[in-house]
Amino acid sequence: MRAGVDEGPERRESRLDPHIPTVSIRLLADDETLRRAFHALTTRDDVARLLELDPRLLRFYLYKAKVYRIFDVPKRSGGLRRISSPDNALKIIQRKLNQVLHAVYGGRSPVHGFVRDRSIKTNAQAFRQRTCSEF
């Protein structure tokens, strides 16, 4: 078990702050429920509820918290690359939002990047069926 994270069989949970209740890493709702809730959003508090967060917590991370750790990593070719790494609490919020957006976005047929059940492999499979004369 990593520090601050309880990895149970059904839910992994993480402590964002000792004064704030434990928050799950993934949303428990299915894709259809997330899709319907997303289309019904009207307020920031609705977004917080969709992400299974206390609205005050979401406001804190949106407006108050210093949520990125900034550091430099040396490049192989010389120079430095600046990295802005979100803290664990923001990562959890981003993962939940990612889950919602994947449920909502269907993807057009030619799109294979960042779409569930698609990859560069599924893109290449479409071209395997073609003969050289079709190009």
- With a pLDDT cut of 90, the percent of the chain lying above it is 41
Amino acid in position 2 = R
Cβ contacts of residue 23 below 8 Å, gap of 6+?
A: 13, 14, 15, 16, 52, 53, 57, 89, 92
The mean pLDDT of 8-31, rounded to a whole number, is 63
Give the side-chain half-sphere CA count within 13 A for 23: 24
User: For residue 1, what pLDDT band results from cuts at 50, 70 and 90?
Assistant: very low
Distance, CA of 44 to CA of 135 (rounded, Å): 49
Phi-psi region of 114 (alpha: psi -120 to 50; beta: other; left: phi over 0): left
pTM of the model: 0.67
Mean of all residue pLDDT scores within the chain: 79
* Residue 7 pLDDT: 40
The mean pLDDT of 38-42, rounded to a whole number, is 95
* Cα separation values, 54 from 45, 63, 126, 131, Å: 8, 15, 45, 56
The model's pLDDT over 41-94, given as tens digits with 9 standing for 90+, comes to 999 999 999 999 999 989 998 888 888 999 999 999 999 999 999 988 889 999
Phi-psi region of 41 (alpha: psi -120 to 50; beta: other; left: phi over 0): beta
69: tokens are 């750790």
- Cβ distance 29 to 96 under 8 Å? no
Distance, CA of 116 to CA of 20 (rounded, Å): 32
